[in-house]
Amino acid sequence: MQFSDSIFVAGHRGLVGAALVRGLRAAGFTNLLLRTSAELDLREQAAVRQFFATERPKYVFLAAAKVGGIWANQTSPADFIRDNLQIQTNVIDAAYRSGVQKLLFLGSSCIYPKFAAQPIREESLLSGSLEPTNEFYAIAKIAGLKMCAAYRRQYAFDAISAMPTNLYGPGDNFNPETSHVIPALLRKFHAAKMHGEKEVVVWGTGAPRREFLHVDDLASACLHLMQNYSAEGCVNVGCGEDLSILELAGLVADVTEFGGRIVFDDSRPDGTPRKLLDTSLLDSLGWAPSIPLRQGLEETYRWYAEHAGSS
């Protein structure tokens, strides 16, 4: 990519899209095409085709998606599969038709089987059953990466796919009904501290293990892949280390300075027992993360306390 090339960041107001914009601007890219969902509804095929025909971006980062945690996925499965299929189908097809030089599709590590061998290699895709709590979202994301592969195979369209692990960072979604685990815990522990509560209840047993990557590290990896990778297979993006939810809760309690008890509600679902990505392919391409988990949690908590931490 040249600094003056037109680059469409789809979903630039989301956690990942905003990080991509920060990363691109910091790297010197100046010609960014950005549209809010009110300005361009990516679920509407005609609107997407018109946008691409008019603006003719040269590169596309497809970070737009409907996302959420276990509760959101369980209560709105139709919304998750419909909206994500519509968004990615419209953008990938319109990008090819309008002559986009290269597109990067953002997937999710939930595409892998629930009981995949750990750490999870890219080859584990479709080798077993998905985690039921987010299978509709996962199926949509699998369709997206397969669409990229199909358009590469049939039309020689340079579409690549990156599969990030669990993400967090400033600008995350802290809504208690739709958030992922880190923002949910930060909000919960912050509120308990502010209200003088003696304990915090965390969903599940605390036993599942998760890997977390700061969203600015993901943005850095995506820029690296756009410049250095061109193949049909997806690429795992992670840090190569995980910890238990129990350990994470303790770390969040420490970061938020909550001094009470942590209680685990084992009547609530745990989700996948473990989800650690094998990042050997990305390692071989010369990229590595730079933000340690505690540093990233402290930064994210500061952002939350400043922007939405009155509750």
* 125 CB-near residues (< 8 Å, 6+ apart): 111, 112, 142, 234
CB 221, CB 104: distance < 8 Å:
no
Annotated ligand binding at 235? The verdict is no
- Flag whether 268 is marked binding: no
pLDDT of residue 68: 79
pLDDT at 272: 76
The verdict on whether residue 185 carries a ligand-binding annotation is no
| Residue ranges with strand state E in 70-144 | 102-106
Is 253 contained in some domain? no
* pLDDT tens by residue, 176-234: 777 789 999 999 999 999 999 999 999 999 999 999 999 999 999 999 999 999 999 99
Residue 311 inside a domain? The answer is no
Residue 175 assigned to a binding site: no
Is 195 a member of any domain?
no
Q: Is 112 a catalytic residue?
A: no
Render pLDDT for 194-203 as a digit per residue (tens, 0 to 9).
Answer: 999 999 999 9
pTM for the full predicted model: 0.93
Which of the residues 137, 151, 168, 229 is marked catalytic?
A: 137
CATH number at residue 220: 3.40.50.720
DSSP state of 114: T
Owning domain of residue 227: 7-171+211-241+275-291
Q: How many domains does the chain have?
A: 1
Q: Are strands 159-164 and 209-210 parallel, antiparallel or unpaired?
A: unpaired
Q: Tell me, what's the pLDDT at 143?
A: 98
Q: Tens-digit pLDDT profile for the chain (311 aa)?
A: 999 999 999 999 999 999 999 999 999 999 999 999 999 999 999 999 999 999 999 999 999 999 877 788 889 999 999 999 999 999 999 999 999 999 999 999 999 998 999 999 999 999 999 989 889 999 999 999 999 999 999 999 999 999 999 999 999 989 877 778 999 999 999 999 999 999 999 999 999 999 999 999 999 999 999 999 999 999 999 999 999 999 999 999 999 999 999 999 999 988 778 889 999 999 999 999 999 999 999 999 999 999 875 44
Domain assignment present for residue 205? The answer is no
Would you say residue 258 lies in a domain? no
Q: Are 112 and 125 in contact (CB under 8 A)?
A: yes
